[in-house]
Structure 1
């Protein structure tokens, strides 16, 4: 499962069981941490998720920022609450790339806002999958 963690939303993507393809799944509107976990647990069970991959929002120069630290804390808390191993993936430019992809697909800005976080999560997860050439486990990411 790939996550694009924002202050107001969680973009969610699911990887296939061969660890080859990431697909946008949904966007969770954040309210309370416990509610975030509850929504994600449903997806973890439904898709038999075995790994949580979260975007790491680095500065353009590659250094950490306050947002990086904040995202890492949330990601670690989610991984513990979901009882999943956790990896981070550089997410620089994923939201920009997601907007470009959606614009190229002909979506208007309002429609883009509804799915851009899930598409960004799919880009994060796809990058992670593309850079790993290990033998895949038997369950979905």
Structure 2
């Protein structure tokens, strides 16, 4: 668990082609999807990630850890762990892995709700990854707020 004094976090939903990014604030208990960062043959767009870190100045980083429903590891679990380690090494910030088992389904439901309300359009479907990152941050904020060692 991350130490006390954490206010702003950036959360990442790691994927083989895209990485969703969201920002969260522990004081307000809120999270917001920011954008999608590319991830391709040459790896993640670390220049864009560095720009986001300069812009938001987070105290810590969160990376969604995809697990199977029975808490088992899968191929993308190792990729997310490796991404988290690279973030830790490159940016000298605390990085925490957050169980993201149900974030994709929740992101799809949230995207559908936002489409129905007219706040997003079908062509913004890539935003699903950023919404998944938002959900990862919200989950961490809920767990962090209820942890007896943080407060």
User: Higher relative contact order at CA 8 Å, sep ≥6: structure 1 or structure 2?
Assistant: 1
Answer yes or no: same fold by TM over 0.5: yes
Segment drifting more, 123-132 vs 67-76: 67-76
Return the alpha-carbon distance in structure 1 between the equivalents of residues 26 and 47 of structure 2: 23
Say whether the 8 Å CA contact 2:26–2:141 is kept in structure 1. Answer: no
Q: Which of 86, 92, 100 is the equivalent residue of 1:77?
A: 86
Mapping for residues 19-98 of structure 1, pairs under 5 Å? 20-31=29-40, 32-33=42-43, 36-98=45-107
Unaligned 5+ segments in structure 2 are 1-9
Give a deviation string over 1:11-50, Cα, whole Å, max 9, x none: 00011262611110110122433x6221111111111111
Equivalent residues, number:
133
Higher strand share: 2
The question of 1:110 aligning with 2:123 is answered yes
Query: Does the C-alpha gap of structure 1 residues 58 and 17 become closer, same or farther in structure 2, counting only changes over 3 Å?
Result: closer
Unaligned 5+ segments in structure 1 are 136-141
Q: Which of 98, 123, 141 is the equivalent residue of 1:129?
A: 141
* Over 4 Å off, 4+ runs: none
| TM-score normalized with structure 2 length | 0.81
Return the alpha-carbon distance in structure 1 between the equivalents of residues 131 and 89 of structure 2: 24
